[in-house]
Every structure is written in C-alpha cells, then in structure tokens.
Amino acid sequence: MATKEAAERKNLMTEQIKKLGKGVQIADEQGDKKLVEGFMADAFKGKASFDEVFPWPERSLKSAKKAEELLKALDKFFREKVNPDLTDESRDIPFELFGDMADMGMFRLKIPEELGGLSLSQTDYGRVISYLTSYYGPMAILVSADNTIGCKFPVWKYGTKEQKDKYLPELMRWPSGFCFTERNVGSDPARMETYALRVKENGKTIGYCITGQKEYTTNAVLTDNVPLAKFLSVVVRIVDNPSEIQTEKDVKKFCFGLFIVPTSSKGVNVGERLDVGLRNEFFGMHGIYNANPLFENVWANPDQLIGGEGNGFRISLQALNTGRMAIASSCVSIAKQCFSGSQNYAEKRVQWGTPIIDKELIGTEKLARQGLCYIFAMDAMTNYASLRFDSGKDSRLEATSSKVFSSEKMWMIVDNNVQIHGGIGYETHKSSSRRRKVFPADRFFRDARPNRIFEGSTQILSQWLVGEGMKFLKPFAQMGTWKEKFLLLCELTVNRINFVRIPDVPRPLRKHLKFVRRKVRKFSNRVLFFAARDMVFLALQSLVDKEDKKKLAREMLTSRQLTLWRLFWIASYLSAMVVSCSRAVHFGADSAVEMADGFCSEARLCIDNLFREFYRNNDRKMRRIADGLKEDRYAWFIHSDILPLIDQLNLK
C-alpha cells in the first residue's frame, strides 16, 4: 500500500517537472543521477560551506606553463595573420589559417598528452578561449564547438580504446561539429526527430540508419555545398521503427545515442539541396561555419556509437557542462575587453569641461558598479568552476551559474560600452575608422549576444540549476525510507544551528561572509517553503475533482518559474560573493580586496531585493496580463500606428 502511494506521489512529481518544460524533464530523467555537491549545493540545505571555496584551489603548474607558451604563439599568430575587422567584413575565417591553428594544437587542447593532445586543464583551456575571444570571438566559437561539444570530448571520455585509436588522430588535426539542435529541438529535446534505426540480423544489431535534419551546427559547412568538419557528433533517438518517434512520448523510454558520423558518408548532405547546404548567416559571429546538415539513411556501424545505446543525452550534458565553462570564459573576456575600451574612451572624451569618466553616471555607475566589480566576480566564478572541475569535484552547478551569470552581466557591460562611446559606439568599424581609430564596439556588441542563447539558454539553465539543487529533498517527495527522511531532517536542523567559522579574510570582506552565512539559511528556508507549497498543492490535487484540479494547477504554476528564477539569482549571488572573497585573498593585493568588497556590497543589495520580491511582487497581475496576450486583448494598442511586419511577412 505504502509503495503504491509512493509510486503515485512519484508520478505527481514527474507531472510537476513536466510543467517546468520538457527539456528540464529530460535532463532529470536521462541526465546524471548523482546529487550535486559544493558550496551552492550545500546552500540549498542551509549550510555555508566556506571550506569548499577557501583556500582558493590550486592549479596545475604543468598545464599553466603549456598554456603560457600557447598564448605567446597565439599572440604572434594574431598579430601576423589575423585581421579581425577584415574577417568580420568578409564573413570568412581564412581557410589557410586552419593549418596554422592545427599546428599550434588548437584542435587537441584538452586531449591527454599520451593520446597526442596538449593536456590542458579546463582552467587553462578557458584561458585560451578567453584569449581567442578577446581578439576575434568567432575563432573561439570554432575552437570550443570542436574541443568541448564536438567529437573529441565524447570519443576521448567515453570511447573504447578501438574508437580512440580509430578517430582521435584525425580529429586532432581538424575541427569537428556537434549536431543537437533541430527545427523543433532547441531547449526541448523531447521533440527530437532525428533517429537511428537499428538494423538487425538474426536478432543482433549490425548497424544503424540515421535519418533527420539538424540545425545550427557550427563547423558543419565551409562554403555552400562543401563540409568543413570531417566528423560530426550526432545526437539521435535510437528506434526499432521510425513510427516510434511519433508514437512514443514517454521520455523515460527514449533511447538516445551519440554517433560519430564522417561528413563524407553517403547520405550526409551539407550541399546539393540549397535549403540544406547553405551556411547560416548571423548578424554577428561572422566567420563561423554554421549550417543545417541533413542525414538521409546514413549508415553507421556499431563502432560509431559512443558510450553505448541510451547514453547519448547524458554524454551531451557532460560535454555541455564543460562547454558552459568555456562560454563563461568567453563572456569574461568580452567584458574585460569592452570595459577597457570604455575606460580608455571615458578618460579621453571631454564633455562639459571634464572627461566623462568624472561624471558619476559614467565613472561610478557604469564603470565601477556595473563594470569592474561584476567582472571581478564573473572571473572568480568562472575560474573557480574550472578549477573545481580540474580537481575532479562535481562542478555542475558552478559551471551553470558561471555561464548564466557571466553571459547576463557581460551583456550589460557590452551595452554600456556602446553607450559610453556615444554616437561613435553605434558606427561600424568601417565608417569610424575612415576618420579616426576607434574601439570596435559594434563587433563586440554583435558577437556577444548568442552567449545568452547557446549551450543552454539563461531561462532553461536557471530552472535546471534550482531543480538540481533541490533534488536532495527526494527522500521527502518520493520513495525515501523513514531512516532517510529522519537523517535529512537531522542534517537540515544541524545546518540551522551549527556555527560555521568565517575564514580568515581581510577586514572589509569579513562582514560580507557573515552576511552570506545568515542569508544561506534564509535561502534554504525559502527552498523548503517552496517545496512544501508544491507538496501541499499535490496533496490537495488528489482530493478535488477535475475542474478544481485545473484551477489548482493554475494556482500552482503562477509564480513557479519566477520563484525558481529568484532562487537561482540568490544562489548565484551568494556563491559569487564567496568565490570573489576567496579569489581576493588568493591574489593578496589591496586592489583585489577593493574589487571583491565593491562587488559584495552590490550583491547584498540585489540579494535583499530578491528576498523581498518573494512576498512583494506583482506576478499574479502580470500573469493575468500574459493570459490577456494570448486572447489578443492588447493587439489593438500594440498594432496602432505601426505597419505590423508579422502581417506583412505572413509570420502568423
């Protein structure tokens, strides 16, 4: 009886997760089942584990030395061979540069030395990505799409010895691509339609036939009809019958697979048909070779399947986890570059008798508050996530929060850069350089934007992070034994009464860590309250009839995503404060303490505001307005005095 009840409760929980969006649900069903660990994970339980972050983690000196040499080589390469503005204008990264990049080791950065790679740690890999981004962003995307999410990572980490021997030598000489996104699959992999059909002989699988079309694959096409990558890693659903794609909707039964597919295989179509072979043109990131490859009955031998059947999604998530740290490094790099451009211009530009850096709204607000202090925190978060990963610790939450935090705050800094440059910030490089030397604010503005979209959008990742953080509550929500429940209750109680010692930090930072210690408990209380509210609603749901159920579900959904959103930002700010303090101690410079102190005092205001919003918000009102949007209640106003392009372009 008890088991039946528990099973029912589990089903209801699954329903709940469904309401968060299928992507989050799949991540839950098919992702890593291990509970998350670290400072952020402990914060969900009400414990401020400063010892996770203090002292600042050690880095590998061997890898750092190699990275230094590589950065020197890159510096020379950039100065002698790459003209970012010309490349941006021509929209092509010159083909002849690929050989130089391969010689420098750009396509084998993280592969271990014994397999022929450079064996860079994640931290040093991040430095290389940062350096590439600072000079020409699309080059960093080319390299990271290959090294982190392309074929290398799955083969190196999950391939058998035979697969490594077969694929790695060629992969390390040339960029590869990662095919996940489809027309209906961006944030929502439950709608994946590309499939690999098992081909059987005497009941044994002898191979697969891959069919479907992917979208936005970076490194897929060099020019129209000509592939760039020699290999693509293709994520598919493995089926016995193509009709399963339409009939089987239960994600728990999905069997994902990740295949290494040579672009020379029969049926891989990056050309021939115009709608397939054309390179995607973006308003930024000029020069990335991105396209929508089509797979028509492409034969794949069993040895092209990496990690076995059923593991494709999990491997992709692992790849994306390291990919996110690389994106965060890119964002820090863009922010630093734009900030230094802004500062330089603000010091030189004189208006109303003084340089504009002396105006409070520029120097204090945009440069100090919204710029430098945030960059210090972004840098600390990104480095901390990578160092944690390098030391073999779980870094899923840190990677995710550093990606979202850095990409969102970077965008504020990039936008401020245009604002600080005034009119010249809106000119293209070509226009302004005819008259004077200027910072390429427009290029950074265009190139920076997709960082908030790809490798997990801000919205999806924020919901995912809180979902992962709350999984420790499973013994209460699902089939936990009484012993498990009791132990968890004890742990939560101890966390609330236990006195956590503040690490040894300079005086200005001490008060911030005390603040974190207090707010971590408050944060955990909000998490528990949120979870309890959900459970009460679930219990009520089973008591009422169908109509009332609908009303209840609506009630429950109101504020759900927004609550998770607030929890995400509180967790991220708290973690950012602690890592910033630890980094400042590690640097040991007074200026580092000033930056950490500046960020922490800013973060405290944000955290207090977010807590306040739990009770004082207008979510319900906005929800009603959002409902009205679907009923076209406001169209009369929005469409007045404009020529609606959605009608003219037939987009409805």
Ligand X SMILES: Cc1cc2nc3c(=O)[nH]c(=O)nc-3n(C[C@H](O)[C@H](O)[C@H](O)COP(=O)(O)OP(=O)(O)OC[C@H]3O[C@@H](n4cnc5c(N)ncnc54)[C@H](O)[C@@H]3O)c2cc1C
Q: Which chain residues interact with ligand X by CB under 6 A?
A: 21, 145, 177-181, 186-188, 216-218, 282, 285, 290, 450, 453-454, 457, 459-460
Closest residue to ligand X, judged by C-beta, is: 186
Closer to ligand X at the Cβ: 319 or 592? 319
Closer to ligand X at the Cβ: 122 or 217? 217
8 A C-beta contact, residue 261 and residue 319 = no
CB of 331 to ligand X, least distance (A): 14
CA dihedral 270, 274, 276, 280 (to 10 degrees): 100
Closer to ligand X at the Cβ: 45 or 152? 152
Closer to ligand X at the Cβ: 175 or 341? 175
Q: Which two tokens stand for residue 322?
A: 């390291």
Q: Which two tokens stand for residue 324?
A: 């996110």
Q: Which two tokens stand for residue 216?
A: 């936005």
8 A C-beta contact, residue 362 and residue 356 = yes
Distances (CA, A) of 271 to 146, 153, 216, 222: 21, 27, 15, 10
8 A C-beta contact, residue 265 and residue 319 = no
CB of 182 to ligand X, least distance (A): 8
Closer to ligand X at the Cβ: 6 or 453? 453
Closer to ligand X at the Cβ: 26 or 179? 179
Q: Determine the 3-state secondary structure of 231 from DSSP.
A: strand
CB of 425 to ligand X, least distance (A): 23
CB of 71 to ligand X, least distance (A): 25
Closer to ligand X at the Cβ: 152 or 521? 152
CB of 333 to ligand X, least distance (A): 17
CB of 630 to ligand X, least distance (A): 16
Distances (CA, A) of 650 to 237, 273, 645: 33, 25, 8
Distances (CA, A) of 458 to 191, 403, 409, 554, 579: 20, 8, 12, 24, 21
Amino acid identity, position 511: K
Closer to ligand X at the Cβ: 53 or 260? 260
CB of 450 to ligand X, least distance (A): 4
Q: Which two tokens stand for residue 550?
A: 């609908």
Interhelix angle 458-469/396-421, rounded to 10 degrees, is 150
Number of DSSP helices (H) and strands (E) in the chain, helices first: 27, 14
CB of 83 to ligand X, least distance (A): 21
Amino acid identity, position 341: G
Give the list of residues 6+ apart from residue 6 with CB closer than 8 angstroms, or none: 478, 479
Closer to ligand X at the Cβ: 107 or 178? 178
CB of 288 to ligand X, least distance (A): 6
Alpha-carbon distance 599 to 608, whole Å? Answer: 14
Alpha-carbon distance 73 to 139, whole Å? Answer: 15
Give the helix ranges, DSSP H, for 227-311: 244-247, 274-277
